[in-house]
Amino acid sequence: MTWSILARDPGTGLFGIAIASKFFAVGAPCPWARGGAGIIWTQALVNPVLGHDGLAFLEGGMAAGAALDALIAADDGRDHRQLHVMDWQGRAAAPTGAAGISGCGHETAEGLSVAGNMLAGLDLVARLLAAMRAGEAAGGDKRGRQAAAILIQGPEPYARLSLRVDDHADPLAERDAGKPLGRRADPPDRGGP
């Protein structure tokens, strides 16, 4: 599994790259950055030439999308590769090749690009909890902590899961202290005790 994120902090103008992979020394061939130009990441059949050439395009004034188009047009491995490009203004562009490794995809937004391949699935509740923990680790609500909730809705007229911690000094830890969440496909029992 490899997943990566490129981001630009709009407050400071700083750029960052983070990666997790089962690829030895992944930080050596994949990330490319140059002040005043931008950042590039190549993964899933890494091609370091894309980083080198892409930075030259960005330094020459190309926007991320135009640089990406030029790079993939000249890349014989484009159908199997993932590539992030972010210019100095924070514009992001990324493709995931049509013949990419299983479990692959990407998302981009202004100042952000995320891509992954060979991703192992987590159930929705676990992903939501992981996202909440990441938000807490990044600072969370500046007023402090008190309550948290997760709601999972399927096609039924009732929620599949409605989990709340209404008043606790550390609501995510309180949730984690409970039993593992089970899956419930049937409506809850409406009978009495």
Residues 40 and 134 placed together within one structural domain of the fold: no
Q: What pLDDT is attached to residue 97? A: 80
Establish if 140 belongs to a structural domain: yes
DSSP 15-74: EEEEEEESSTTTTTTSEEEETTTEEEEEESS--HHHHHHHHHHHHTT--HHHHHHHHHHT
Q: Which mean pLDDT values do the consecutive 10-residue runs of the chain (193 residues) have?
A: 81 84 83 90 90 96 97 92 92 86 80 79 67 78 78 70 79 60 37 34
Residues 101 and 30 placed together within one structural domain of the fold: yes
3-state secondary structure of 167: coil
Q: What pLDDT is attached to residue 85? A: 95
Establish if 182 belongs to a structural domain: no
3-state secondary structure of 172: helix
Residues 42 and 98 placed together within one structural domain of the fold: yes
Residues 60 and 26 placed together within one structural domain of the fold: yes
Q: What pLDDT is attached to residue 121? A: 62
Task: Yes or no: say if 118 and 2 are a contact pair by the CB < 8 Å rule.
Answer: yes
Segment 13-68, tens digit of pLDDT: 888 888 878 788 888 888 899 998 999 988 888 899 999 999 999 999 999 999 99
Residues 14 and 97 placed together within one structural domain of the fold: yes
Q: What pLDDT is attached to residue 122? A: 59
What is the C-alpha to C-alpha distance for residues 54 and 48, in angstroms, rounded to an integer?
10
Residues 24 and 91 placed together within one structural domain of the fold: yes
Residues 27 and 92 placed together within one structural domain of the fold: yes
